Amino acid sequence: MHDGITVGARLRALRRWRQMSLAQLAGQADLSVSFLSMAERGLRSLDRRSHISALAGALRVSETELVGGPHLGRDPAQSDPHAVIPPIRLALQTNSLVAPAAERARPLDELVAEMVEIEAHHQACDYVAVGRALPDLLDELHLHAADPADEAAYRVALETLVEACTAATFTSKDLGYPDLAHLAAVRAEEAAAILDDPVRLGQAAFCRVHTMPRVGSWNRTLAAAERAAEALQAHATGTRGQQVLGMLGLSASLAAAVEKDADRARSWLSEAAALAVHQPDTPDENWMSFSTTNVRVWDVAVNVEYGERGGAVLELASRVDESKLTGAPDRQTAGRRGRYAAFLADVGRGLARDRKTQGQAERWLLRAEYAAPQWIRNHKPVQEAVAVLYTQAHARATTRELRGMVARMGIPH
């Protein structure tokens, strides 16, 4: 269970443990005393990456200590995904590219086909389904990737291993296991280095960028994303290469926003938008959903990181064609539900910051939960937004929907 209803409650405990006054902490984190005071009382949300990084750095603690680590609630959609982590950890920690742990493996073509299915579950944020197949696949791919006798098969094994490690990276990251996410990203990087393929190296770099430590290092994250994009630039001639380059640009944009470099963030967003024009606007079929629609989704995320709220967020959201994210009605359960849920959650978080739009925030957050329950019920920024909404509404009658969401996320109430 959580040890406090909001991040602010943990902030207060950590600040007192460090024997710091509000003024001292505010000065070191470059935040206002009034904002921190309201955050500690659960009246303002601490869900922006820049705020979390600055406060954790000033307190000299990890972000996990501030926002809270993974925990198991009573809701199956919230707790069951965590059961996939031990077997994924076992597969990654007991295998290497020169010393596989498995003794037997299925034919490589079967593993490639299974990776396609796993990727669909991964993009739908169905971590339980991912966990049923991914650990064995990682074992068997390591065995194939340790045999360079057949060069063509060897390369296919390494390419598929990059994809499998990407799924392991974001499954672990989304559920709150940054150490395992980092290990999976490093393994993807090792496989890509052997392939010496600029596009695969770009994919692996994308994983690494999203698993770098956050406290005091967003400038390094930004530099890593920019280096990877620049290295890929001359080689991004095909569809996949341009999609990977675009996603690296979007990652750089978000990192620049955290670093409060608005011009740089806008520049990278513009570059990604220019690349997306040449891609089909079909997020469900593109690598990491890269498309014009997805660039607009990231535009929402970047602006929410800036601190946009209320009507301004709704204006940005109105530019996103939601039907592009949900797909046809008969494909909604298998589409890129994670990207859709992220969009809905970012809009909801932005609306939650403005009292005039808090009622709408609740509806957007509930839609996000419906789109990808296993992820959203474990998503720290959404948990923070919901906890703050609940704290603010506690003195008045709260809605049945909000109370239900609080319970499903395991938030004390």
Assigned domain for 180 exists: yes
Q: Does residue 1 surpass a pLDDT of 50?
A: no
Label each residue of the chain as H, E or C.
CCCCCCHHHHHHHHHHHCCCCHHHHHHHHCCCHHHHHHHHCCCCCCCCHHHHHHHHHHHCCCHHHHHCCCCCCCCHHHHHHHHHHHHHHHHHHHCCCCCCCCCCCCCHHHHHHHHHHHHHHHHCCCHHHHHHHHHHHHHHHHHHHCCCCCHHHHHHHHHHHHHHHHHHHHHHHHHCCHHHHHHHHHHHHHHHHHHCCHHHHHHHHHHHHCCCCCCCCHHHHHHHHHHHHHHHHCCCCCHHHHHHHHHHHHHHHHHHHHCCCHHHHHHHHHHHHHHHCCCCCCHHHCHHHCCHHHHHHHHHHHHHHHCCCHHHHHHHHCCCCHHHHHCCHHHCCCCCHHHHHHHHHHHHHHHHCCHHHHHHHHHHHHHHHHHCHHHHCCCHHHHHHHHHHHHHHCCCCCCHHHHHHHHHCCCCC
Q: Is the dihedral of CA 168, 174, 175, 180 positive or negative?
A: positive
- Is residue 112 included in any domain, yes or no? yes
pLDDT value for 326: 83
Q: How many domains does the chain have?
A: 1
User: For residues 251 and 217, which has the higher predicted lDDT (pLDDT)?
Assistant: 251
Confidence (pLDDT) at 332: 43
How far is the C-alpha of 138 from the C-alpha of 88, rounded, in Å?
8
pLDDT, tens digit, for every residue of 230-279? 999 999 999 999 999 999 999 999 999 999 999 999 999 999 999 999 99
Give the pLDDT score at 330. Answer: 43
Please check the confidence at residue 324 and state whether its pLDDT lies above 60: yes
Give 396's pLDDT tier (boundaries 50, 70, 90): low
> What's the whole-number average pLDDT of the chain?
91
The model carries a pTM of: 0.88
Q: Looking at the predicted structure, is the pLDDT value of residue 345 above 70?
A: yes
Domain that residue 165 falls in: 77-211
pLDDT band with cut points at 50, 70 and 90 for residue 413: low
- Residue 94 located in a structural domain: yes
Rounded CA-CA distance 162/204 in Å is 7
* High-pLDDT (> 90) share of the chain, %: 72
Q: From residue 410, how far is each of 127, 203, 389 by CA, in Å?
A: 18, 34, 15
- pLDDT of 2 > 70? The answer is no
Does residue 400 fall inside a structural domain? no
Predicted confidence (pLDDT) per residue in 363-390, tens digit? 999 999 999 999 999 999 999 999 888 8
Residue 240 lies in a domain: no
More confident call, 30 vs 400: 30
Could you tell me the two tokens for 155? 């390369």
For 48, the token pair is: 């922006």
Asked whether residue 128 is domain-assigned, the answer is yes
Instruction: Provide the pLDDT for residue 158.
Output: 98
Please check whether residue 173 is in contact with residue 181, taking contact to mean a CB–CB distance below 8 angstroms: yes
Mean pLDDT throughout 60-77?
Answer: 81
CA 318 – CA 10 distance, rounded (Å): 35
Weakest mean pLDDT among 5-19, 166-180, 227-241: 5-19
